[in-house]
Amino acid sequence: MITAVGTEIGTETRTDTDWAALTLDAAGRCTAFLEDADGDWTRPAGRLEWSGHRTLDHLALGLTGYAGLLTAKPRDRYITLFASLDPEAPVSARLEGIRVAASFLAAAVRAAAPADRAWHPWGHADGPGFAAMGVVETVVHTHDIAAGLGLGWTPPDDLAAPALGRLFPDAPGGHTPGETLLWCTGRLALPGLGLRGEWQWDGSVRPV
């Protein structure tokens, strides 16, 4: 069971989250949605220049890469392992690949010690940090792909809130976690805030 305590957006709160389970849950729910989505996967994914297929491949690379970083724990570089999906495989098989990549990350998160740290250009992170990155990549790129397919999809609040609390400590309040995450990642304009042009998360480990 996934538990997240104190995930109010825009406040500094302590969370008790099963990050490995959250990673798997995000991959499971997002791929289930995309499994049933009809449309042209060669079209650009939302505001991205990538196609839906290319965006899915990027997601597989990211999830596997985070698992590798957390496993190898480099201090000043990315790992040399790169993952990709079979470009000839049907969408259903590629979505299976996303779930496999998420399982790698979940296993690495479970195996990581609390003191473990690894390099990332947006802040050296621990297990929860890399899990949160994986969740953000999964739900945000699902939103992108859905937009390219002509569908509306907002990250579920119970997935977005813990990731926001871990990676976007200065996120604004007053909106749902899913909408706030889309604003933080430059996908959605919010009243009074407009569309964010440049953004990045803060993966560094902070006291709670």
**Mean pLDDT split into 10-residue runs, the chain, 208 residues:** 36 63 98 93 93 96 97 93 92 97 98 96 95 98 97 96 96 94 95 89 86
CATH architecture of 19-156: Up-down Bundle (1.20)
- Average per-residue pLDDT in the chain? 90
Helix (H) or strand (E) holding 145: helix 127-148
Q: What's residue 207's pLDDT?
A: 74
Q: What's residue 192's pLDDT?
A: 87
Q: What's residue 11's pLDDT?
A: 32
Q: What's residue 100's pLDDT?
A: 98
Q: What's residue 16's pLDDT?
A: 74
Q: What's residue 208's pLDDT?
A: 62
Give strand pairing partners of 51. 44
Q: Which residue has the tokens 């791929």?
A: 31
Q: What's residue 206's pLDDT?
A: 84
CA dihedral 165, 29, 55, 17 (to 10 degrees): 20
